[in-house]
Structure 1
Amino acid sequence: MRVPPLPLTTTPAAPSAPSFADPGGPSSADPGAPPTAVRGPGRRRLRTVAVAVLACTGALSTVGAASAAGPPATPAPAPRTVLDAAVPISVSVQGARVAWLRPKGKLNKDGSYRLAEAVVLDAPGSTPRTLTAKLPTYPLAVSLGTDAANHPVLLVTGAEGIYVVRADGQGRPTRLRGQNRNDDAAVMRGGRTAFTRVSGGHTRVRTATAAGRPSRVLYTVPDEYSSVALALGAKGAVALHASRARDVGIGDIVWLLRPGKKVVRLTSQSTGGASDNGLGALTSSGDGSRFGVSRWNFGGGHPRDVQRFSAASGRRTFVRPATVVPSADALDELLLDDGRSVITPVLSGECVAPGVDPAKQPGPPCLGLDLVG
């Protein structure tokens, strides 16, 4: 039995990137900053501080000419569709499909939820489906993938381990074969798997041609990095997002791992100053040829954009400014194949939570999960 489909609500958006096309070629401007590790469910919430800034550039004659011509045109905001009013525990994108974990019940003191339900959006324009499958307790992460028959599946990591859930909602979740309690960050494409395993005090990225078959080490993560997330592309390419605690310097980084080839650094995000910053969740295209990631920042001084990279070479093929909304200080933005994206807050600003009367607490509605474009 299926849960009734969720209603979709389209709302006007705050100014965002005007173009959603992927040129498919190298970018002329490379900020050159690094990537990030996925933030867990206990995200820190900050209040938004409004700051007025006046930027003056050029000579007086230039300013006068601009004034005479009128203010510059503002790009039309991209439309936004509310997918979920609740902030998801975890979001995953592969191709045009989106999956997320919606929390159920009360938030625990450590920022976790004991229960959650899986929701799937098969493509932009379709209706989100809430799966009836019973998920493992204390779910932390969801990853979209495909099995050996190329059927879409969800890999859900929770207290009982890593489980495979069919995206069509049929059947019961099954434990991912060949895994043990030291495994994490599992991903799947075409039945092939990649995951991390901690042994001897070291975290290693391992791959297997199928779940349950012997795995081999692809890469050993430097010991200073504690949090790790993966995405699996075509021909065994793996994007690795690792993060480390740093007061100054690179805190988050993304590497491209390919069997038999050298490791390539794709992007990173630095720490330092009074700002808070990091990287969002990794995405992969439907055919596995590209990886994507966003860089978020609150406080200034660090990049805030959305990037896409070739899974074959590591070359950056696309970059644009990140979407901006009034109810969130920092966003995780995940790219879909057609250039549209889904956004969810990393740091929330002043906003009206679901169920609160806007007349009693004026302000923009809090962001949960929205489709942009």
Structure 2
Amino acid sequence: MPSTLPEGEPAPRDGALPPAALAEVGGGRAFGLYVHVPFCVTRCGYCDFNTYTASELGSAPGASWSTYADGVLAELRLARRVLGDRELPIQTVFVGGGTPTLLPPEDLGRILEAADAEFGLAPGAEVTTEANPESVDPAYLDRLREQGFTRVSFGMQSARQHVLAVLDRQHTPGRPEECVAEARAAGFEHVNLDLIYGTPGESDEDWQASLDAVAAAGPDHVSAYALIVEDGTRLAARIKRGELPMPDDDVLADRYVQADSTLAAAGYGWYEVSNWATDSAARCRHNELYWTGADWWGIGPGAHSHVGGVRWWNVKHPAAYAERLAAGASPAHARELLDDETRRVERVLLELRLSTGLALEILDQQGKTAAAQAAVDGLLEADALAAGRAVLTLRGRLLADAVVRRLLDWD
């Protein structure tokens, strides 16, 4: 949930969507729900997400943690009005942040219950929340599972204290691994650990220790992302002052290969460039919905949505968000209507990152020629290409952005 919103065009006050977009809704297209909880106890030094601490929010009307769920329920009702009476069972729910687990499990359960009442949850729906390891305990996880959540994602980032300190992470090393066991004991079907690699001061041995700790903890899903230094963050300021070095691209590539090798040996297979799972059932179905261009409604301050080729994003501040909804208006800040070419380009950008790859028919003739050369260069799997799909090799994953530029003739 980036903190800087794009410009776009003005969004209708009532949130109405164009008839062409509504015509695409349903009919076999997957539909998901994202809920953004923008609250954190402290702000991590690398984070550029739309989050707020209690001191930043102060006593602004509508910014109370205790009443946040009420605003979410109001936007759910708005979503139902906008989308009409179409059959739209929710396939996936993802509650992200921020730290959603700062809210009581019963508030998160109220949101889930309202989503079910408005749209209906599909049988076997995946229901995920993110969690800070220090914000939960066994009793909280038990209550969360009772509310209907099936999946939990813990922000681990690193197993080394000095690496966590650079990131301004507050949890104790070892706590995320404990959380995996506690979540399993609570009955969660799926558990993810998030890692970040390339933090200034992290050594090969530090990164290997983090990977080994994850493998020993035994979640069925692992996400590992290269550290990105975002403008305006404390980390960026420290690097600019020369206190810390900028992450090195070659080191990041080595870290990725190290992760893929260790996770493969531990029984995890990659299914998206930055994500590994023990089997297909453990994959994050909500993220797959994003990567394959399905529809989702994003609820909360700064949340982004996509329905039928229309993308929009909400106002950022929790108080402004609550005020819009209290006035009976949509909290949407702006939107953009995606034309066919933009949607095609986005398919290339996203689907190429998947282990299933990209259908060659999505590419124009120049792109198909570039794909053939990429296979010769060892960036795409030759056998997959012969079968009509562009699938990245390990080397191709390291250079995924460059491969995309080739296929779209952006170089």
TM-score using structure 1 length: 0.30
If each structure's helix is expressed as a fraction of its own residues, which one has the higher value?
Answer: 2
TM-score using structure 2 length: 0.28
If each structure's strand is expressed as a fraction of its own residues, which one has the higher value?
Answer: 1
